[in-house]
Structure 1
Amino acid sequence: MNIEKKLSALSTRIQYTRDIFGNKPRPELEAFANEIADFPEKYRDAGEDRAIRAIESLDQRLSTLETAMDAQLTAMDKVRIVRHPQRVCLKDILENVYDNYTEIGGQDEHSLDPGMLIARAYITRRKGKRIINQPVMVVGQEKGHGQEFRNGGSIKPWGNSKALKYMKVAAREQIPIHTYVNTPGSYPIEDFPGAAQQIAENIYEMAGLDVPIIAIFSEGGSGGAEAIGMADKRLMLSHGYYSVISPEGAAAIEGRIKGSERAPAELIESCALAQRITAQDNLKNGYIDEIIQEPALGARADHFDFYKQVRDQVVRATDEVTLSVRSIRFLRKAALRLFSKNADIIVRWSLSEKARERLVNRRYRKYRRLAQNAYKDNRTVLDKLTATSTGIVSSTASLIQYGLIKPFKQGIARVIEETTDEIHVVTGKVDSLFRCTLKKFGVKSNCDRLKEMELTGLSRAEEDKHVIESDTGYVSPQALADREVTCPHADKRGCLDIWARDLYTDFAGVCPNCGYNFPMEYQWYLHHIFDKDSVREFNRDIASGNPTGFPNFEQRVAAAKEKTGLQSSCLTFNASLEGIRLTCATLVANFRGGSVGAAEGEKFIRALELAQTKHQPFLAYVHGTAGIRIQEGVNGLIQMPRCTMAVRRYIEEGGLYIVLYDTNSYAGPVASFLGCSPYQYAVRSSRLGFAGPGVIKETTGLEIPPDYHNCFKALSRGHIQGVWSRKDIRKNLHHALLTIGGRNLYYR
């Protein structure tokens, strides 16, 4: 045994432990460090056998100390563990968990995004003389051990695009996907395709991949985690964390820290604890399915027993997902019971077509059940019974109208159309011969004269029948101020000052010179866009709460409810526009910045389900959103995949889903259930993207230009499909309803 090498290893372990506990004083650790420092002098004249025994004793004592200190870890200590350079990384797992692998999509720094690692791997399983090689697609964020080109596992949009590409390859080849989530968050960049844009696409597409997906979380940071985190089975390392925002970010928001200031360590520790970010917290709340136990103070590269445990649990999870959708229900349960008793059973991971359908449906149901206890349902028993009975009636009526009557009508109409087309072919030839005969004798038919008039006559302007001007009875409070308003572009474009009453009434908040759209209240939208007296709100009494028990947050939510008169930042209602009935969900900026938590997500999903039942188009109007509500922790973050799955199900059933952004829209909602819409529009002068200017500067150190999040920038990179003036919203929405839609065109 090399004594110096052993002493160096012990010193490294002590320094690692110091790093984990930050600046907290640990007298027992320092005493141990002093003992190691004095060891060469103390045992200089001792025999080698005695020195070796002494070192072995030190090793055992340090292991005991590490175990004792492991039990004292706080949430922030675990955050420091997953960020430590010695932390086990994806390359270590590929080398020690899988039997063989080939890295694809680039290699090390020679890659589109080195932080995203893709590998085609094999797991070899032996049963007696039988050897079975089971292929999997491994996708994950790679930090590396000090490899700066990995960008700390912070993935750029094209890295997430690469991950999605190969997950689709796995679905095409019908092999399971293992994703390893180890990221502090996605890199907040809006170059094409844009961080929010790509994460939304990843979540949407993963919801429909018809192969088993297993996710293993180490560091799950916000939207970066959700980009590859949707799975049928979610495992988490015991010292990992999964959170809507980093503890430092939460502390900066809570402490209103600005510029180069740093949040106090006590506040950071408090936020880490309050957000419920640990594996144990997430297991309790149901956001992960199992915990993979790590060695004391976290898994490092040389913990080989840990890799065996990861392999066993990952294989078992894949087997369980496969068995859960295979064969008939009775045999499936029997197989699962047998599997729990016999760990050596080999399960084939291939699935039949019906099993793949069950897998996708089961995934939807899994996420639909999450976060059910994280919001307040203040509806009375009568309200709940009324909602249930209304749902049953609507479902029955929908089944009769769209499942029976409509297909019958379509069949009859198809026969009539085909017959008419055949008749037109015959009569068209006869008509053509008749016209030719008339032309030979110089005679013009009435039809020819009409066509000639259309080509040579003067056109007449017709009134737009679709624009209805009416007195809605709503006047913006901003119009009551006796003042003049200056346009922000006055210096550049020569805009004159506008009287507030004129600006916020006749001009609808739009500068008559340059077209700048001043912010307006969401009530203006409700009263001016939809038909008069057609708005009918539902699920009003599903209310925001404080599911994590975040300090002093209950009072802030109560203050928002009192100020706005709303129970959450999401307003759901039915309305009509030019007689077309549609279902709407509005994120209101006045309520906690339009942030989304468990209540908002639940209301959004219920509105989508109602739109699907009633066969109505769905409009998401974003008056403004600051992202996911950080005080609700993963209860808020999980709404990203939950709502996106509901959107996907609605669209796949033929629904028309339109999103309209106003004012400022950022972060989680834009990077999921809003950003996945094929039809997204923005009100002129609005701003949207993944992260605000302050967050980008803090995380990247980059100064961004003032127009970085401008809606026209989003239009130029394809995130949205159009920019509208507020004056034209009603007309443009009606036009969209008449020209675009899903397969079934519900609104017609």
Structure 2
Amino acid sequence: MEIEKRVVELADRLSYIKDIFGGRDNANIALMESRLEDLAARDKSAPGEKAQMLRQIEDLFAFLEKKLDEELVPMDMVRIVRHPGRVSLKDILENVYDNYTEIGGQDEYSIDPSMLIARAYITRRKGDKVINQPVMVIGQEKGHGQEFRNGGSVKPWGNAKALQYMKVAETERIPIHTYVFTPGAFPVEDFPGAAQQIARNLYEMAGLRVPVVSVISEGGSGGAEAIGLSDVRMMFSRGYYSVISPEGAAAIEAGIRQGQRVSPDLIAQCAKRLNITAADNLRMGYIDKVIEEPPLGARPHHYDFFKDLRQEVIQATDQVFLGIAGFKLYRALVASKRKDATDAESMFVRWTLDDAAADRLVWKRYCKYRRMAETAYRDSRPSGARIASRAQSVLWSGYSFLRYDFVGKYLKNFKKTVGDLEAEARLVASRLTAPLRKGRDKNAPVTCDPEKSRMLVELSQPEQGACLEDFGWRYVSPKAAEDKAVTCPEAKTYGCPDLWAPDLYGDFAGVCVHCGHHFPMEYQWVLGNVFDPESVVEFDGDIEAGNPLDYPGFEDKIEAAKKKTGRKSACVSIDAKIDGVKLVCAVLYSAFRGGSVGAAEGEKFIRALARARRRHYPFLAYVHGTAGIRIQESLNGLIQMPRVTMAVRRYIESGGLYVVLYDTNSYAGPVASFLGCSPYQFSVRSANIGFAGPGVIKETTGIDIPPDYHRAHNALARGHIQGIWDRREIRKNLKQVLLTIGGRNLYYR
């Protein structure tokens, strides 16, 4: 019976190996198969002879598995993490932690089977004393072929539940361990919406005041980032972490349409080009350590792997706590010098932190992500210009500190005291003079001061000049020069008559006068007609999009985009004014590679936010259009999601006003991170806003969505945006936002 069981185990191992290598011809696999067939043919052999032969075959399998492990290509690793035999989060909970309890709800809408949350603890010894150290474990659960878990593809409410228990861990002051096992988030816009929930997770994780350690097995795009922003990021040696799946990248490269198939060779090429392996990510600096797996990937029976994983997560958590200690301890030095984690439990570290340590933790996390992708863009400025720019930043920081933090703090306290005294004096004077006023005012006629009346309503009715007229635009679209008729897309629904292009794109500002449908316009229309004349000044224009991974053929595409647009990236950073109010604006525009975000665009966005923070200006993100993260930059683009979100959080927490305005089509990573985390988001009418486009949703879920699924009115209905604007009223509405949300000083709320 024992022999038959071992034979079945060998057959399972061979089947697993064939699955991993995707049916490729391989001499070692053929040898293993033939030896197993020989063993099966010897049913009538003596038990001793068969047992000896079985031992030899087991040794051969172990030897050849190590050889095959060295032959793995990136696409093989993708198949490893997708295999139902792959180690899952429940396996880790059972074998790494000493005890745990699943929490988070009972049904799909309160927990989502793809997201597993558990309160666990790790038992350690301090001398003769046993101490249970609590931890919150959060991660995607793929299971072992359990279809109801949706392959680890988490729905919005699953990510919402994960965030809820991260905040619980923060309240309880316990560390968080996250395990990333997802091909990507489930692309539905049902409340709370895939994009805005991921953005909310990133924003809150950036400021968590407890250590977060993440371990990546399969990290697919925004779904991975929803729980992946952490102080220590480790990765399984046979895992992958990528901006997009190899199949998705190949489909884009081949330009195929829905229902068509991509060749396996192109998929394998894309897996290699995207630099998705653990070794690639360690080299680029997006993870801190690689956790070695057994040959051909970890499976539930690899108990030694679980022991190693336990030591790694303990050591990583220890290092975070020791790294933020008030003074450098000898234990911190020892922990940082250890090359492996085999003796992690031999040194006890208490997992507690005070408020000062929590502040250092958040700042250290920000610095960690700020340093990422710094070599993935090009800065063509001469060294003198860079030095001058840095000096200017230092001067502005000094001025800001003196005016707002040093002098401003005392001035604010002085004004508060004077204001309180003045209010008290007015009340006393009012009480003393009340009898005199009662007799004098009894028969006095009621009068209304026009100036006071105007001041009472000036917020809802701005001064003349704050609103643009319907005609007389300073910038007119080049499409207005075309002598042709244009049919409104809503003509079948509303019976709109054809419009003459010079009228539509000239006087009407691209708006159908019958139904109000907004035709796409150039981003220059907003720059020319919304901001004050001659107030727009560009900065950081020499930061260029590049090809950091030497992706084949992409250099030519980038150069073509630069030549076509006359710009060096898909982001334009400007200083501008609206009715005399100074602000900083970052524009993502669709003409440059679909407005996709890479390392250059992320860097420009971060620098623009820093500029607004130093100068105490409001910040506007005008999204003329974005197709998401630039896939050819892979992780260099994907890391901009947490990286820029942390800069946004720093700006908002310093008191800044951050406003986002969407136009045309805005999808994927930027919307699910640094754009979607704004508390004040608005949209131009007829814009599309969402996490994934209709084609991606159909391809990944098989669901046919309605034509208006991503329209702005649906985003408004689920609370993603706060208002829908007519293009002709953008200037008036932005002025209104600055007055009512920014406050009278327009710098700090």
TM range (shorter): over 0.9
Matched letter for residue 12 of structure 1: D
Matches of 2:744 and 2:81, distance apart in 1: 46
Query: For 2:671, what is the secondary structure of its paired residue?
Result: coil
User: Following superposition of structure 1 onto structure 2, how do residues 145-184 of structure 1 map, counting pairs within 5 Å?
Assistant: 145-184=144-183
- CA distances 1:236-277 after superposition (whole Å, capped 9, x unpaired): 000000000000000011101112111110110010000000
Matches of 1:468 and 1:656, distance apart in 2: 23
Residue 44 of structure 2 is matched in structure 1 by: 44
- CA distances 1:374-405 after superposition (whole Å, capped 9, x unpaired): 11111111211221121112111111211223
Residue 289 of structure 1 is matched in structure 2 by: 288
User: Following superposition of structure 1 onto structure 2, how do residues 547-566 of structure 1 map, counting pairs within 5 Å?
Assistant: 547-566=548-567
Residue 351 of structure 2 is matched in structure 1 by: 349
Matches of 1:63 and 1:545, distance apart in 2: 44
The Cα of 1:476 is off from its aligned counterpart by 1.2
The Cα of 1:125 is off from its aligned counterpart by 1.0
Residue 276 of structure 2 is matched in structure 1 by: 277
Go from structure 1 to structure 2 and tell me whether the alpha carbon gap of 1:744 and 1:133 turns closer, same or farther (over 3 Å shift).
Answer: farther
Matches of 1:345 and 1:243, distance apart in 2: 35
* Contact persistence 2:179–2:217 (CA under 8 A): yes
The Cα of 1:144 is off from its aligned counterpart by 0.7
The Cα of 1:522 is off from its aligned counterpart by 0.7
Query: For 2:389, what is the secondary structure of its paired residue?
Result: helix
The Cα of 1:497 is off from its aligned counterpart by 2.1
Matches of 2:569 and 2:207, distance apart in 1: 30
Matches of 2:312 and 2:717, distance apart in 1: 46
Residue 510 of structure 1 is matched in structure 2 by: 511
The Cα of 1:37 is off from its aligned counterpart by 2.4
User: Following superposition of structure 1 onto structure 2, how do residues 572-583 of structure 1 map, counting pairs within 5 Å?
Assistant: 572-583=573-584
Matched letter for residue 433 of structure 1: P
The Cα of 1:353 is off from its aligned counterpart by 1.0
Go from structure 1 to structure 2 and tell me whether the alpha carbon gap of 1:306 and 1:336 turns closer, same or farther (over 3 Å shift).
Answer: closer
- CA distances 1:423-448 after superposition (whole Å, capped 9, x unpaired): 22122224442343346xxx4225x3
Matched letter for residue 600 of structure 1: E
- CA distances 1:717-743 after superposition (whole Å, capped 9, x unpaired): 000000000000000001100110389
Residue 734 of structure 1 is matched in structure 2 by: 735
Residue 262 of structure 1 is matched in structure 2 by: 261
Matches of 1:226 and 1:22, distance apart in 2: 29
Matched letter for residue 3 of structure 1: I
Residue 435 of structure 2 is matched in structure 1 by: 433
- CA distances 1:64-122 after superposition (whole Å, capped 9, x unpaired): 11100000000000000000000000000000000000111136979630110000001
1:719 aligns with 2:720: yes
TM-score between both structures, scaled by the size of structure 2:
0.95
TM-score between both structures, scaled by the size of structure 1:
0.95
The Cα of 1:510 is off from its aligned counterpart by 1.2
Go from structure 1 to structure 2 and tell me whether the alpha carbon gap of 1:127 and 1:612 turns closer, same or farther (over 3 Å shift).
Answer: same
Query: For 1:373, what is the secondary structure of its paired residue?
Result: coil
Matches of 1:493 and 1:661, distance apart in 2: 25
User: Following superposition of structure 1 onto structure 2, how do residues 495-644 of structure 1 map, counting pairs within 5 Å?
Assistant: 495-644=496-645
Farther-moved stretch of structure 1 (735-744 vs 599-608):
735-744
* Contact persistence 1:109–1:149 (CA under 8 A): no
Matched letter for residue 12 of structure 2: T
Farther-moved stretch of structure 1 (684-693 vs 254-263):
254-263
- CA distances 1:502-542 after superposition (whole Å, capped 9, x unpaired): 22121111112221111100111111110111111111111
Query: For 1:269, what is the secondary structure of its paired residue?
Result: helix
* Contact persistence 1:183–1:225 (CA under 8 A): yes
* Contact persistence 1:325–1:332 (CA under 8 A): no
- CA distances 1:323-379 after superposition (whole Å, capped 9, x unpaired): 000122476754646877974111011011100100000000000000011111111
Query: For 2:238, what is the secondary structure of its paired residue?
Result: strand
The Cα of 1:501 is off from its aligned counterpart by 1.3
Matches of 1:681 and 1:595, distance apart in 2: 20
Go from structure 1 to structure 2 and tell me whether the alpha carbon gap of 1:11 and 1:742 turns closer, same or farther (over 3 Å shift).
Answer: farther
Residue 647 of structure 1 is matched in structure 2 by: 648
Query: For 2:507, what is the secondary structure of its paired residue?
Result: coil
Matches of 1:653 and 1:377, distance apart in 2: 28
Matched letter for residue 731 of structure 1: K
Residue 12 of structure 2 is matched in structure 1 by: 12
Residue 23 of structure 2 is matched in structure 1 by: 23
Query: For 2:166, what is the secondary structure of its paired residue?
Result: helix
Go from structure 1 to structure 2 and tell me whether the alpha carbon gap of 1:213 and 1:462 turns closer, same or farther (over 3 Å shift).
Answer: closer
Go from structure 1 to structure 2 and tell me whether the alpha carbon gap of 1:742 and 1:45 turns closer, same or farther (over 3 Å shift).
Answer: farther
Matches of 1:383 and 1:324, distance apart in 2: 36
Matches of 2:35 and 2:109, distance apart in 1: 46
Matches of 1:177 and 1:415, distance apart in 2: 44
Matches of 1:109 and 1:493, distance apart in 2: 40
* Contact persistence 1:124–1:131 (CA under 8 A): yes
Go from structure 1 to structure 2 and tell me whether the alpha carbon gap of 1:695 and 1:110 turns closer, same or farther (over 3 Å shift).
Answer: closer
Residue 203 of structure 1 is matched in structure 2 by: 202
Runs of at least 5 residues in structure 2 that lack an aligned partner in the other structure: none
- CA distances 1:664-695 after superposition (whole Å, capped 9, x unpaired): 00000000000000000000000000000000
The Cα of 1:412 is off from its aligned counterpart by 2.4
Matched letter for residue 515 of structure 2: C
State how many pairs are aligned: 740
